Amino acid sequence: MNGILPNNPRLYLWVALGLLLLLNVQTWLHDYPPNAPPPVAAPLAPAAPAPDLAARVPQAPGVAEQPAAAAAPAEAAPSAPALPPVHVHTDVLDLDISLQGGTLERVDLPAYPQVKGGTTPVRLENRDASRTLYELQTGLSGAGPGPYPTHLAPFTSERTQYSLGNAAELRVPLTWHAGGVEVTKTFVFHRSQYAIGLEYDVHNAGPAAWTVTPYAQIVRNDPRTKSSYFDVQSYAFHGPALHDGNKYRKLDPTSATDAHLSLQAQNGWIAALQHHFVSAVVPPRGTTWQFALGVAGDQYSLSGTGPALTVPAGASATLAETLFTGPKLQNQLEALSPELGRVADYGHLWFLARPLFIVLSWVHAVSGNWGIAIIVVTFLLKLLFYPLSEASGRSMAKMKTLQPRIKNLQETYADDREKLGRAMMELYQREKVNPVAGCLPIFIQIPVFIAFYWVLLESVEMRQAPFGFWIHDLSSRDPWFVLPAIMAVAMFVQYKLNPAPPDPVQAKVFMIMPLAMSVMFAFFPAGLVLYWVTNTVLSIAQQWNINRRIEAAAAARRG
């Protein structure tokens, strides 16, 4: 290792401190963006209400958007009584489909309680309040005056209740007809699946050809939330995202560029993300759709518009697309689109995080416990880095055997730091020891650590997953802070196994590092602390064994 790394421990200490400072700056900029507009005084007169994005009907590219009421006055009469929704229950979904347009207006996930042990399920799509408005709207629009079966048009249903029961598939048809055209809009549910098939069967019994454009849009009121260090989940991304067939993009509704985004994509998708859960629209493969984002205040509308379809008089046609609303289960998401698994947002190190998650899943399939899977995968990572750790450990062990000679040099050149530095460098070179070789494994493991962090934070498979004893949720902090305390003790033992830095300032920094790290980790997910504790204990065992062998060899030479 000599000659590869500079023999300057201060340099590595400053690099580490610089990385911590960079993380703090990035967190500050995330919480307090520099371009945020200053607060303004409230206007004297009431401001005009923000446009209702839920009432807009997406049009095909090149077709001017028309106000919904003007485009089809018969579609949604304001004075008409609200139609009761169609209630659908499967083994994993409990939802309501509005008969006004066939919109998913409420989606509950019975298998995912909001609070561990509670009975209230996570709710995605809803009309509970304007602040939480969240709808998945679909329909067929057209360039003419209409009417068309948009998400504002009235549909009919033979039943108001549907249940999957013991069947493998459930079909929920809604019907619309006008001017000799009949459209059957069918939602298709499958057992254990959060994907929902959507089919349009068009029968044109009218006198002329009928041209329509399929669309889907996710409308959500999504006010910005303040991030908190004491709630690491608050740093998870929530908002619109899309894949244009080549690249995955998270969109920022507060950005002037993204707020007016419009692009064409083949084999892409659109989605609304939040921590652990997602709603998405996946167009048929091989078709080109127009994706667009609209913003009004805290509300955004992410839409996709497909190619126009002309149905001749007396003919029939079928259109299809796929919806998804539920947890970010990567096996189900990847089955719909190869890149849809990216909604499990692992950040910039996703190329490391995804393989880690796959290996964790394999081990979990055998062990049945995510905590055990974390311990086993940490052991496997330790084996992977063993050659590097072994070389580093041997260098650290040799440094420990040199401590008496180093102390002697410090006493000899106590008044001349320059001569002391040269003498120590000569000693290191003569004994072929690199004093900073022990830092290298730590720097290499940092990307793996960050990737592991996002896997544990973002993977819904580990949401509320128990480990044992007092750890009932690996995705939340240790409720009794036992693991952080164990981590502090383990890191202190590891520190004592290694040679003390020759610089007194460095020695004090490294001595308080276990306490500082344990305090910082106290609010991290328990699964992440479990990983670090396991890694530290394995490092202690490895370093103890190396020290024992080096000391025995040194004693043999002296004898």
d(CA 174, CA 183): 8
Domain boundaries along the sequence of the chain: 53-223+236-342, 354-558
Sheet of strand 316-327: strand arrangement: 169-178, 181-190, 195-204, 316-327, 277-282, 269-274, 239-243, 248-250
Taking residue 543's Cβ as centre, other Cβ atoms within 10 Å add up to 22
Q: What is the CATH number of domain 53-223+236-342?
A: 2.70.98.90
Does the structure show a pLDDT above 50 at 375?
yes
Lookup: tokens for 399: 């440094």
Does the structure show a pLDDT above 60 at 199?
yes
Q: In the prediction, which pLDDT does 62 show?
A: 58
For the chain, the residue count is 559
Q: In the prediction, which pLDDT does 7 show?
A: 41
492-522 pLDDT, tens digit per residue, is 898 887 766 666 766 677 778 888 888 888 8
Does the structure show a pLDDT above 80 at 537?
yes
Q: Which of 478, 454, 457, 459 is nearest to 467 (CA)?
A: 478
DSSP annotation string for 45-98? SPPPPPP-GGG-----TTSPP--HHHH-TTT--TTSPPPPPEEEE-SS-EEEE-
Q: What is the mean pLDDT of residues 468-481?
A: 90
Alpha helices by DSSP H, 165-291:
256-259
Q: Are 282 and 320 in contact (CB under 8 A)?
A: no
Name the residue with tokens 């750890």: 471
d(CA 486, CA 529): 10
d(CA 525, CA 528): 5
Lookup: tokens for 79: 């004075």
pLDDT over 70 percentage in the chain: 80
* Strand (E) or helix (H) holding 337: none
Q: Which residues contact 111 (CB under 8 A, 6 or more apart)?
A: 92, 121
Q: For residue 47, give Cα distances in angstroms to 50, 216, 294, 298, 550.
A: 9, 30, 20, 15, 77
Q: In the prediction, which pLDDT does 550 show?
A: 73
Q: What is the mean pLDDT of residues 163-171?
A: 97
Q: What is the mean pLDDT of residues 156-172?
A: 97
Identity of the amino acid at 179: G
d(CA 40, CA 260): 24
Residue 384 pLDDT level (bands cut at 50, 70, 90)? confident
Lookup: tokens for 551: 């000391």
Straight-line distance from the first to the last Cα atom of the chain, in angstroms, rounded to the nearest whole number: 29
Does the structure show a pLDDT above 70 at 47?
no
Q: What is the mean pLDDT of residues 195-210?
A: 96
Tell me what the pLDDT averaged over the chain comes to. Answer: 83
Lookup: tokens for 266: 């083949």
Q: In the prediction, which pLDDT does 76 show?
A: 40
